[in-house]
Structure 1
Amino acid sequence: MSNLEPEDCADYLERIVFLIDNELDEADCSVVRVHLEECAPCLQKYDLERTVKQVVARSCAENAPQGLRDRVLLQLREVQLRITEG
């Protein structure tokens, strides 16, 4: 286990979401996966984010308009930032 500082984890929050959405290249995926193996709090956030996305996907039969999706993603990132900052 490495000695990770909370600010180190902040760098991974957005990339974790992109990893779940398959929006990272393989090199970045590898870096994020290594971090998740070393950092239990980030792994928990990853698991929670993935679970929420799965529940939402099962619950929704139609796609939201892109503008709505963009606003929701922005709000989720703002909440994640507030959680990270403490």
Structure 2
Amino acid sequence: MSAPSHDHDEMDECVAALARVHAFLHSELVEADADVIRVHLHACERCMENYEIESTITEMIQRSQPEEKAPDTLLARVSTMRITRRF
């Protein structure tokens, strides 16, 4: 059984796309990077299959965890804090 053909030449594109699939799933990429992943997934059946598997697993994990909300007092304290960085 042969591997599915790719519309692109480099397997490096697949490696790069799959390395960032979790960040893509969680909307942690800037839009330009997310667009690159979207284009790749649209062109590459193998990577799309991997993405769909990861997406299903992520959804199952999210559904199995109860949504937790921080207490209002903690939210109020955090929102009034001033964050400073020391270099």
Structure 1 and Structure 2 fold alike (TM over 0.5): yes
Q: Answer 1 or 2: which has greater helix percent.
A: 1
Q: Which has the higher contact order (CA 8 A, sep 6+)?
A: 1
Q: Deviations over 1:4-44 (max 9, x none)?
A: 44333111112111110100000001100000010001001
Q: Deviations over 1:42-66 (max 9, x none)?
A: 0011111011010011111267xxx
SS at match of 1:61: coil
The TM-score normalised by the length of structure 1 is 0.64
The answer on 1:25 being equivalent to 2:30 is yes
Match of residue 14 from structure 2: 9
Greater C-alpha radius of gyration? 2
Q: Take 2:12 and 2:37, find their aligned partners in 1: how far apart are those partners? A: 15
The answer on 1:48 being equivalent to 2:57 is no
CA contact (8 A) 1:9 1:42 kept: yes
Gaps in structure 1 of 5+ consecutive residues? 64-86
Identity of aligned residues (%): 35
SS at match of 2:20: helix
